[in-house]
Amino acid sequence: MSISPTQIQLIQPDDWHLHIRDGDVMRNVLADVAKQFARAIIMPNLKPPVTTAELAKAYRLRIESQLQSLGVNGFTPMMTLYLTDNTSAVEVRKAKAEGVVAFKLYPAGATTNSDAGVSDLKHCFAVIEAMQKEGMPLLVHGEVTNPEVDIFDREKVFIDRVLEPLRKDFPELKIVFEHITTMQAAHYVRDASACNKNTLAATITPQHLLMNRNAIFVGGIHPHNYCLPVLKREEHRIALLAAATSGNPRFFLGTDSAPHAKGLKENACGCAGCYSTFNALGLYAEAFESVGKLNRLEGFASFFGPDFYALPRNSKIVTLHKQAQAIPCELPFGESTIVPLRFGETIAWSLA
């Protein structure tokens, strides 16, 4: 990694948690993704969800067709399957043979297009045992959905009620605690027992490193800063920033960039999700620079994810310039438009 006051050179990163949707809108998202990342783990929460190896293959082919039409080479989509109460152990073996890299756990009703998610993890013990045997990671949306639990406490409660028992029942299962948002989650992953040091990791988004929950509410409702898990208090943002910039290999980049058309965000019942793909690397650089830790960015963005997934690190070098970039207020999104994170603002770092 090379750092100067005006330039950062680093190994090209990957995005270990990304939504690209499907159909015409996917084309616009892929154009933004491929400019920055060499690979990305593609989330399976479509309508209908990607629940089988056959559906994952078909989705990958649609992505590859769009990449080809864009003239993009060198970007690899990594497919996942949506875990349900009815997923079978046989599907794990089929998925591995098809090159699927992980299964995704959405507690039913936790986020966008999660209605088909898991109602009770006990229904999935046979398939999780098969995943553990095959070395297939489980990516978890770490929130409980019980109505009596405050929305700001869902992640903290998930650790005690779901994650810790799951790790005790399946100690060799590789788990990624995705888009963590709280001090409790950061400390839990940081302090995981030594025997599990290679089986637990976490991704962190740019919005949770740069914003607290005031960004949603101060001066009126700001729907484009609303995501799930929701932004938390400032003390949690500080803890996440400390984790991301610590050099601990359990923490790595995952944007959870979740595109929705402008009209679906600016709505009486607006969708959850921030679109950070347009300028993700610049946002992460801003976060790391804010605490004087730009020298830790390459590990977080480029090394720790591939290492956890036992994949080779990339070799291509990308360059960020400290050159002010104005973020557009809207971008093309199929026949509609999308509003990127930090729209209308100027950020310091931009990709060459």
Q: Dump pLDDT digits (tens) for 143-187.
A: 999 999 999 999 999 999 999 999 999 999 999 999 999 999 999
Q: What's the pTM?
A: 0.96
Q: How far is CA 252 from the centre of its chain?
A: 10
Asked if the model's pLDDT at residue 18 lies above 70, the reply is yes
Of 112, 171, 187, 177, the residue nearest 140 (C-alpha): 177
What is the predicted pLDDT for the residue at 289?
98
| Interior angle at CA 143, CA 153 and CA 96, nearest 5 | 160
Tokens of 218: 């101060």
303 DSSP 8-state letter = I
What is the predicted pLDDT for the residue at 197?
59
Residue 212's identity, in one-letter code, is N
What is the predicted pLDDT for the residue at 119?
85
Per-residue confidence at 120, pLDDT binned at 50, 70, 90?
Answer: confident
Bond from prior residue into 48 cis (ω within 30 degrees of 0):
yes
Mean pLDDT of 120-138: 95
Asked if the model's pLDDT at residue 112 lies above 80, the reply is no
Q: Taking the CA of residue 226 as centre, how many other CA atoms within 13 Å lie in the half-sphere pointing to its CB? A: 20
Q: How far is CA 166 from the centre of its chain?
A: 21
CA pair distance 98, 243, nearest whole angstrom:
34
| Cβ-based neighbours of 90, under 8 Å, separated by 6 or more | none
What is the predicted pLDDT for the residue at 196?
54
Q: Is 5 exposed, middle or buried (0-12, 13-18, 19+ CB in 10 A)?
A: exposed
pLDDT in tens, 77-90: 999 999 999 999 99
Mean pLDDT of 301-326: 96
Q: Is 284 left (phi over 0), alpha (psi -120 to 50) or beta?
A: alpha
User: Positive or negative, the Cα torsion across 208, 214, 217, 219?
Assistant: negative
Tell me the three state secondary structure of residue 45. Answer: coil
What is the predicted pLDDT for the residue at 108?
78
What is the predicted pLDDT for the residue at 115?
67
What is the predicted pLDDT for the residue at 334?
93
What is the predicted pLDDT for the residue at 198?
85
- Residues with catalytic function: 256
Mean pLDDT (the chain, rounded): 95
What is the predicted pLDDT for the residue at 126?
95
User: Positive or negative, the Cα torsion across 35, 201, 79, 332?
Assistant: negative
Q: Is 181 exposed, middle or buried (0-12, 13-18, 19+ CB in 10 A)?
A: buried
Tell me the three state secondary structure of residue 275. Answer: coil
Tokens of 287: 């976060």
Asked if the model's pLDDT at residue 195 lies above 60, the reply is no
Mean pLDDT of 27-54: 96
CA pair distance 183, 165, nearest whole angstrom:
20
Mean pLDDT of 109-127: 80
pLDDT in tens, 250-299: 999 999 999 999 999 999 999 999 999 999 999 999 999 999 999 999 99
Of 251, 352, 227, 240, the residue nearest 290 (C-alpha): 240
What is the predicted pLDDT for the residue at 117?
79
Mean pLDDT of 1-23: 97
Asked if the model's pLDDT at residue 42 lies above 60, the reply is yes
Percentage of the chain beyond pLDDT 70 is 97
